[in-house]
Structure 1
């Protein structure tokens, strides 16, 4: 065995070494001389030397078209095997061009983004492809960005209150028709409340500069202040409006707040039914839910509010009223009722005045006075729109008002709907 190995490797070893060396050289030369073809898809198209004051339709902010092209490349097999999509780019020269023209892509338009690849030596030809290029007027405009109602659920223990500001502006430049269309329709930006955690809101409430109230303002992170406009940029565009720094989502901590004032209950008579229903012959009866105090009918049981701030409750609790509309359903005789705020404008002014003078909330005082007032008025109106009455932590106030023999009575709970057979019979 040892003799066999010696003969195999040591006898005439000089010739054998030269043979191996020549074989490697021949393999390398053959491999470099092999010609093949390969299709490369999604090659970016860059437009250069665009005339001043003009742009190209579908041109993105990075100088490439939104659409891409595919080319069949013929050349050295080793180079083509090494090529990747990120190594190539098609360059089209728009110098001295006007209007719309057809650009033919050939090997001369192909450039390498990889300095280690020499396309001029490795690629012999490409399939010719035509691309329609259209020059148009370049315009710049401020387009509106509408901040829509967020999606998702608020963190546990908090209730979504509002978002502010409702609208921002974004400076863009691009083809005239695209920019005009964006300006007329605007862009919508929607946040997901599920991306905000309870820990983040708790940390904001615990900050030393916090007002220590039930309201928490979550300032939107910078990475959220971007909008996607595929016609202008393949990457999201950052909103450059100075007001974007104040973009926030407001929450209120869910807590049960007592209403310390008795709420009056009154009847409202629509004028179109006065011949049939009027104050002369219809009155409100006292009972477990209604009592008379100094000749005024008020709600008898304690009530609470949730999803609003203690300050809001203190301001409005003496200016609340439950109104029962005398417009009974022909089937159930049930009367609609609602909670009303007496002189809501005055209440709003009081709330804004107190909050404007409160120096404990540094986040609000960072706003300009007019912006601060607008923000606080929107917050107060949001509280009014969301205001609900509760009997306990988990039980909302549900009452049924009925008209029977010209007497209006209140009962707890909602009256069940009559069954279909009764409806048909009546």
Structure 2
């Protein structure tokens, strides 16, 4: 099979790495890819959002399957375009992708089908939004309606912080049109977790539960990012909790969409808060999480290609996933300035000697090659991922590997996976 992966970040490197292991994959392409991906696949200089360019390439190269990594092409309708052209593609349609592309759409769907989530009010006027915030007595969460690369959520401890977030999103338009509408939600308390599932529109097949670390600094301080690290499995989501998430959240979402004429095929990601009342949805995403994909795919023993094809063909009920024992931890190394405007062009050193290291995989996110030199080329640069017999061992391996990598301005969180240890040690 000839397979095209769309995207160029750490998630896409993990997808390419895993798909390359399938005996049925003859040729792998990635658009646009990065310096890590180019060692496993032919990188094609087409942006993930250039749908017409990607379609022309898929036709020219007789691509048998396209796997979409990021949300933007899904929200723009890449799946609909491929299906109209008679090409096979993994991911949800444009209508289904509204579950991530519009937080208002997602919130209303959850309210219609009784899916547990935070109480929320929706605003198109900044003045009305600010007046509402002033009427609240508790901290709140301000969310831009549209896509904002994981950064359009502000947890506001004070009225002033909430008002500033509203001003930034709705007046200053820091996220462009994504901030035309905002949601103001109650702040849920509990432990966060991520559950990603494959679905063919009927069957929902959850992967291992994971935990992401969104804020840029240790202890969940500082502004939100696309994710500074993740680990799996997350021990706070035991078998019983995962069953609840499947029955109360994932399946009702897929069924609810189906009842409205929207068949959801692809990866469905539920960002969750485990509250005293049970699991509640913080957000839905319509693709593999980044960086959750890195530890999850590093732990996956099954053939990923087989599972993705079953989701496309409506036969996911036949798939049983197998996993390596133990745990995996991914630590993101970020460039100077991230999550604001990030510096690029700095030389990365120390990767070569890690390549033969057992139980370590470094997934590239924002990298490029210039001759023999490996340079930074994005906010999140690398995802240093390690497997171990448990989270403690995986953490130790990951951070030992991090110590051997350097580039000017490199920063990372030092507490990835610590919540799991605290939970396990009680």
Q: TM-score, normalised by structure 2?
A: 0.17
Greater relative CO (CA pairs within 8 A, separation 6+): 2
Q: TM-score, normalised by structure 1?
A: 0.17
Which structure shows the bigger proportion of residues in helix conformation?
Answer: 2
Which structure has the larger Rg?
Answer: 1
